[in-house]
Chain A
Amino acid sequence: MPDTESLPQHAMKSLPFRTYLDRWHLSVLLVALLCAVPVLTVFSYIFQPAGEVWQHLTETVLSDYVLNSLQLIIGVSFGTLTMGITTAWITSVYKFPGRKVFQWLLLLPMALPAYIIAYTYTGMMDFSGPIQSNLREWFGWSYGEYWFPEIRSMWGATSMLSLVLYPYVYLLARAAFLEQSIVALEASRSLGAGAWKSFFKVALPMARPAIITGLSLVLMETLADYGTVQYFGISTFTTGIFRTWFGLNDSGAAAQLSTVLLIFVLILITLERISRKQARYFHTSNREKRRAHLSLSPGKAWLATLACLMPVLWGFILPFMQLSQWALETYEEMVDSEFLTLTWHSLSLAGSAAILALVIALLLAYGQRLQNTRLIRFAVRIASMGYAIPATVIAIGIMLPLAWVDNTLDSWLRSQFDVSSGLLLSGTLFALMFAYMVRFLAVSVGTVEAALGKIKHSMDDAARSLGLNPRQVLLSIHMPLMRRSLLTAILLVFVDVLKELPATLILRPFNFNTLAVRAYELASDERLADASTAALSIVIAGIIPVILLSLSINKQKT
């Protein structure tokens, strides 16, 4: 291209650029508004009077709900951070026996739905389970004569949730550790800092945004959990919401409880923001070398193996073996002609939801990067709130407005043209997809945001000054740079949707079942052994993307 033309061309580009900004801006606001609809619908119930029930709640069970929920999130934070960060650091820095395998083995517990692992451990460790029964038989003990940890208790719920949720911290922390430029670590080592000091002073602070994103996902998921705590007989906010709504038949008070939960989540999200703002760490270099793994003394190397083995053993291998044993007993009856259809439904739903969530997350996160106004930031927060709301509440928040749209359109058509459109959105896969977006957008937005945050703004400026428009910057500069994080986002949503139950149960169309629905129906009918085949299939379907992901994380740039 002749040199003389470059100036006017650049000037011309700046005009559509403005309208472009507006389009991003508007789309972000629109998406956020859509995602806020279910939450706002629930909010609108606040205005129903519920004084008498509130008095009852505060006098009797509310303090239990609050204290138990707090205990649970403190315990789960401790468990997931310890397991997640330790294993992420060991696997990304050191050489030890089994390192390559553990890189992906450590992710596997994520494929287990929390309520399934809870049922499985109860089956194994309960008073009437095989472990205690055998102990009693061997030693001739009877009830009350010996001590055995009670699995259906607060520590049990904390352990179950920690075991299946720590991979969120592990995954994000590990990606961050791997993306850290070797230069920073080498500098710290060459300045005389030991391994521990380099970890605490350099690596950990640099990975903090990613770790906190992981932790906030863990906490939101913990707050939204219903299956595990309900089975263990622990009254939390979530079980309280259900009890108030369906047992006391008071939707107003239930919505008010949900609102309290939401305010708590908003505080959580804000804390995450603040911490991220204080720590604006960018790549110091974008051409990183493959980091050589550091050697350990044989003793320490085996310790590292042990540290990585524990979470996998408890979080995956043991429950997997128990499920397999049950499945072997029952699979002949359970694998019928519909089983393939179930699997296909689960996989296709999870796949399309994961991709859709990624597209929306890119839109939101990049929109926010382009125009970091207070309004946009608020909109993105709102769009991510659904993750902490119990899915049943979200589902009802979706059902009501969609049915309203359908019925309003139908009435209008009937009165104007005497035709009926019936239900266009309610009870369709659209409603289901909508619910998944509202519920899981936080996962992909968080991951994409954390990744975008690590790309220096000077890159954007350079690319833009070379004539790329914002979308081109995203597609050809940012996305290739963040591709590991993008894959992480896809995987996380995929596995989440695969396991998702309450919203799927309420919103799905006729004759449409998934593996999670099948597993849950049998498990909740107390037929755990029968549920194991479907549960195992969820796990196996979840493993495949996990392995793919870890392969891609390991393919370092040369």
Chain B
Amino acid sequence: MAISPFKSILSSILLLSIINTQSLASTEVNVYSARKEALIKPLLKRFTKETGINVNLVTGKADALLKRLESEGRNTPADLLITTDAGRLNRALQANVLQSVQSKTLNAVIPANYREPDGYWYGLSVRARPIFYVKDKVNKADLSSYESLTEQKFKGRICIRSSNNIYNQSLIASMIAANGVAATEKWATGLVKNMARPPRGGDRDQIRAAASGQCDIAIANTYYFGAMLAGKKKKDKIAASKMALFWPNQSTRGAHVNISGAGITKHATNRDNAVRLLEFLANKDSQKWYAETNHEYPVRDDVEASDLLRSWGAFKSDAINLSILGKNNPTAVKLMDRAGWK
């Protein structure tokens, strides 16, 4: 006789929950990471090798992981939450799912503006969002700041991605903090007018578009540029080599930066292991790894960036308290909607 539908549903459910049962020993640490697997797992493997502590990993989008953390409450298995922007870490702090950690090591090596004052989260790598220009077409002396990109002479020459993207939202959030909502909205409207095409694609696509002649100026994160220069794709290499990097706002507040960072969860069961992992991610070797593998800037002053990163020159970064970026985010999104930034 065939198995009844009821029984088969029941047994598949049972089977699935059995397969999944894991014993969580104390030699473990559980990580929710918005950094993609390829950009964190190699470091985690090194950590396991050095300490014998196993790392269990779930990657995903920051907002979803945060929601998961919130809904799981005190039973959450996660010990550490890794995100790729400070705004999300701040949202986690506001959602009351992080705990404060006082680590002498961390406080000593991570500069104060890259960590939460009470130790709720720590920055682990720095990501800058400067201006890129086509060497043959743009006179470097014409460039000065993000603000100046709305000038008439840049009409139809700028490529930037959609306002759906968090990097643009953070950039606008930082400008709101510096110039206020009204001035920033006027600026965004002007920028939309100067765009060479409606926003589409990712950061690399903006650099490619500029290199192939569709526009002269692109705004993108440095590590995409680095990946194109150092990567294996010949076309990307050629494209990137036509471009140069310009650090904006050097005489004023500095270029916009964000961090990827992490915080220990409020209900972490493996708190000590999580702190060890955090300290490991901030040690000199790991910091070098960010620069060499993903072309991000180390968060520590005493670790030298890779040769490639140093070739772009030293720069002044916007020293704004990064938690403000998260706070201004909804305002930034609305502002871009009004400015017609797709």
Contact = CB atoms under 8 A, between A and B. Distances in A.
A118 to B, nearest CB: 11
A510 B64 contact: no
B270 to A, nearest CB: 13
Given A233-B342, A506-B64, A509-B58, A247 B329 contact: yes
A143 B77 contact: no
Interface string B1-30: 010111011001100110110100000001
B169 interface: yes
B153 interface: no
Nearest to B207: A128
B279 interface: no
B5 A428 contact: no
A486 to B, nearest CB: 13
Contact of A430 (B20, B91, B169, B209): B20
A356 B12 CA distance: 8
A17 to B, nearest CB: 16
A149 to B, nearest CB: 14
Interface string A464-489: 00000001000100000000000000
A122 B204 CA distance: 13
Contact of A60 (B19, B58, B338): B338
Interface residues of B, number: 67
Interface in A119-140: 122, 126-128, 130, 132-133, 136
Contacts of B71: 399-400, 403-404, 426
A359 B337 CA distance: 46
A352 interface: yes
B17 A152 contact: no
Nearest to B2: A475
Interface in B168-197: 169
A302 interface: no
Given A521-B38, A526-B203, A508 B17 contact: no
A202 to B, nearest CB: 36
A477 to B, nearest CB: 13
Nearest to A511: B56
Interface in A225-260: 230-233, 235, 239, 242-243, 245-250
A536 B139 CA distance: 44
Interface stretch (B211-219, B302-310, B314-322): B211-219
Interface residues of A, number: 80
A231 B201 contact: yes
Interface in A515-553: 517-518, 521-522, 524-527, 529-530
Nearest to B28: A510
Contacts of B68: 399, 426-427, 506
A33 interface: no
B232 interface: yes
Interface string B307-342: 000000000000000000000011001100110001
Given A56-B334, A60-B337, A427 B38 contact: no
A249 B330 contact: yes
Interface in B257-294: none
Given A152-B200, A359-B9, A230 B164 contact: yes
Interface string B89-131: 0010000000000000000000000000000000000000000
B334 A522 contact: no
A360 interface: yes
A254 to B, nearest CB: 11
Nearest to A56: B334
Interface string A76-111: 000000000000000000000000000000000000
B274 to A, nearest CB: 14
B251 interface: no
Contact of B72 (A133, A427, A522): A427
B67 A399 contact: yes
Contacts of B22: 509-510
Contact of B213 (A59, A130, A142): A142
B148 interface: no
Interface in B17-51: 17, 19-20, 22, 30, 36-39
Contacts of B333: 243, 247-248
Nearest to B13: A430
Contact of B169 (A143, A247, A359, A427): A247
Nearest to B213: A143
Contact of B337 (A56, A404, A428): A56
Contact of A510 (B2, B30, B211): B30
Q: Which of A59, A247, A363 has the most CB of B within 10 A?
A: A247
B117 to A, nearest CB: 22
A521 B61 contact: no
B57 A505 contact: no
A513 interface: yes
Contacts of B59: 505, 513, 517, 521
Interface string A399-439: 11001101100100000000010111111111001000000
A366 to B, nearest CB: 9
A69 interface: no
A247 B37 contact: no
Nearest to A401: B71
A427 B71 CA distance: 11
Contact of B212 (A133, A248, A410, A505): A133
A4 to B, nearest CB: 28
14 contacts: A56-B337, A126-B205, A127-B213, A127-B214, A230-B164, A360-B9, A399-B67, A433-B13, A508-B58, A509-B58, A511-B56, A517-B59, A522-B38, A525-B39
9 closest cross-chain pairs (CB), A and B:
A233-B200, A510-B56, A403-B71, A128-B212, A128-B208, A247-B333, A60-B337, A152-B200, A143-B213
Given A233-B201, A407-B72, A422-B77, 8 more contacts: A126-B208, A136-B212, A230-B162, A249-B330, A329-B232, A352-B16, A423-B77, A509-B58
Interface of A: 27, 56, 59-61, 122, 126-128, 130, 132-133, 136, 142-143, 152, 230-233, 235, 239, 242-243, 245-250, 329-330, 352, 355-356, 359-360, 362-363, 392, 395-396, 399-400, 403-404, 406-407, 410, 420, 422-430, 433, 471, 475, 505-506, 508-513, 517-518, 521-522, 524-527, 529-530
Interface of B: 2, 4-6, 8-9, 12-13, 16-17, 19-20, 22, 30, 36-39, 56-61, 63-65, 67-68, 71-77, 91, 162, 164, 169, 198-205, 208-209, 211-214, 224, 227, 232-233, 235, 239, 329-330, 333-334, 337-338, 342
